[in-house]
Amino acid sequence: MMKMRKFDNKLGNRHRNQIEGSGTFASAILLKHDDPSTIKMRTSTKKYLLLRLLKYVLLDILKNRMVLFYTLFLLATSFGLFSMSGDPTKGIASLLNIVLLVSPLLSLIFSTIYFYNSYEFIELLSAQPIQRKTILYSQYWGLCISLIVALVIGLGIPLLLFAPGKAALSLLIVSCGLTMAFVSLALLAALLTRDKARGIGLSLLLWFYFTFIYDALMLMIMFAYIDYPMETLTLTMISLNPIDLARVIVLLQLDVSALMGYTGAMLQDLFSSGKGVLLASGVMLIWILAPLRLAIKLFNKRDL
Amino acid sequence: MIEFNNISKSFGKLKILDQLNLAFFKGQSIALIGPNGSGKTTLIKCLLGLVVPTSGEIKIDGVNAIGSWMHRSNIGYMPQIGRYPDNITVMQLFEMIKEIRKGTFVKLDEELLHSFEIFKFENKTMSSLSGGMRQKVSACLAFMFDPEILILDEPTAGLDPISSEILKEKLKKELTKGKLILITSHILNDLEDLTNEIIYLNEGKIVFFKKVEELKSETGSINLSKAIARIMELQNNLS
């Protein structure tokens, strides 16, 4: 918004220059009606621009069958798990484990590959009067929307049919949040290196880190300090990994926290109040926004 | 007016542009020449914002152009190698760009679309096009929104003689409208009747920036390629 205003000021100056007769020739179109209403119109044109770009990105992703396979996989898994175990709580618990493994992996790999493959499109757009930020946002939202639609169909429908309730809702919301965070991380990985193979490697590494390595480290630390009070440390460490955070949020809705010992009781206490939910959402939001912000920064400096 | 003030660009240790200072004005038609790797394309890409200079500033009508994006609505750019999404057709590409640029142009100029007979392959996907066909598509896109500044990077390199003539005629026509035209090319004969000024770039530095007549009279040659060859010879002798 600030930038926009700055730009408009510049335009205003240029307009004055033109009136004074100093030779200007660029942006004749933009100068013609340089009054507040045009500025407003220009801002809204910019907003619609993102939607217009988004349309093309979504159409392109739809052509890719990966998202369809993902939806079918989720549908098959959820229906399978729920029909195998009669207890919906057990069904949700096993589904949680699978979703926490698969959805970050797919979000990372699919987004990274998609970004590298649409490099031509990005290059083409970069020569048009479009902000780089808008281009990256269109990619981000295109990926997020398509993957979230896959989750809502593949996960949401079976959950609604077999185990409607608070736990099911939290599982769906948490997996959508995870998807958004990992698409954001994927774009960051793709912008950190120009080489496609390296970018995908980096994405895989991120997934390994958050899924296996981090948990192993956490266990080691907890084991080493087993004699000390651990509540705050555990909570902090959980927050530093979006997957762990997601797992805890859903598990606490399932009333199995009694199995998680003293820390579990503490977490239960925290998350049963609104404060805990607010905290968890805040941390998730940081996991979504921080990598995306960094990716935009990198993309703005990128030579195409 | 376009100003380059102390523009430098390096990729790692490699210095592509070295403290360039340039000014272009409306109505000029400038040829950018120089050996491969002399920084011609990088210079153009800096102006478009595709490449971010390491230091220095670029101003268009006195307004900073680095990091800005609105100025691109007034630039028609034909890249050296046009890269397009593979799975869309030619027609879809034009429709898409038109939709995206809605509100940033006054009138459409589809003259080249007709003279290049784009309709003959409008339903082919971009991936199935030959290099020359792609060049034609790129050219059409560059002229389509009637920009004030035209930047063409090796425009005639992949075109057949007839298409190349069509493009040159179009360029001449645009020049009479008082536009600013910037062309890079290795085919000096093509530039002969299209440009009135020559910039010679070597290793990221400007060797000279002169009017064509000036060049010809200085070297006593009637033909541009001979004049340039002569100057290059002189320079070699000096160094």
Q: Is there a contact between B104 and A31 (Cβ–Cβ < 8 Å)?
A: no
The DSSP annotation for A119-151 comes to: HHHHHHHHTSS--HHHHHHHHHHHHHHHHHHHH
Residue B82 identity? G
State whether A303 and B50 contact (CB < 8 Å).
yes
Which tokens go with A186? 């994927």
Residue numbers of the domain that contains A196: 51-301
Chain B contacts of A41, Cβ < 8 Å? 103
- Total domain count for chain A? 1
Q: How far is B35 from chain A (nearest CA, A)?
A: 22
pLDDT in tens, A125-146: 999 999 999 999 999 999 999 9
User: Structural domain boundaries of chain B?
Assistant: 2-238
What is the C-alpha separation between B177 and A13, in angstroms, rounded? Answer: 26
Model confidence at B150, pLDDT cuts 50, 70, 90, reads very high
Of A17, A42, A121, the CB nearest to B85: A121
Q: What residue type is assigned to position A249 of the chain?
A: I
DSSP class of A159: H
Count of other CB atoms within 10 angstroms of residue A219: 10
Instruction: Write out chain A residues lying below 8 Å of B64, CB-based.
Output: 10
State pLDDT tens for residues A217-249: 988 988 888 888 777 888 888 888 999 989 888
Q: Are the Cβ atoms of A304 and B60 closer than 8 angstroms?
A: no
Q: At B214, give phi and psi (nearest 5°).
A: -55, -45
- The answer to the question of residue A155 being in a domain is yes
State the pLDDT confidence band at A2, using cuts at 50, 70 and 90: very low
Residues A30, B97: C-beta atoms closer than 8 Å: no
pLDDT value for B235: 74
Could you tell me what percent of chain B has a pLDDT over 70? 100
Determine the topology of domain B2-238 in CATH.
Rossmann fold (3.40.50)
Q: Cβ contacts (< 8 Å) between B1 and chain A: which residues?
A: 23-25
Q: Which of A23, A60, A127 sits opposite B26 (nearest CB)?
A: A23
Whether A265 shows a pLDDT value over 80: the answer reads no
What are the backbone dihedrals phi and psi of residue A271, each rounded to the nearest 5 degrees, phi first? Answer: -80, -15
The predicted-structure confidence for A159-168, as pLDDT tens digits, reads as follows 999 988 888 9
ipTM metric: 0.87
Question: Residue A38 above 70 pLDDT?
Answer: no
The per-residue pLDDT for A28 is: 41
Does a structural domain hold residue A6?
no
The CA-based diameter of chain A, rounded to the nearest angstrom, is: 81
The answer to whether A136 touches A57, Cβ cutoff 8 Å, is no
A-chain residues within 8 Å CB-CB of B49?
A: 126
Residues B162-192 pLDDT 10s:
999 999 999 999 989 989 999 998 888 778 7
Chain B residues close to A126, C-beta within 8 Å: 49-50
Q: Which two tokens stand for residue A105?
A: 């992996």
Contacts of A252 (CB under 8 A, 6+ apart): A267, A268, A271, A272
pLDDT of residue B118: 92
Looking at residue A6, what is its pLDDT? 45
Using alpha carbons, select from A114, A107, A94, A101 the residue that is nearest to residue A150: A107
In a domain? residue A30: no
Question: Would you call B70 and A52 a contact, using CB atoms and an 8 Å cutoff?
Answer: no
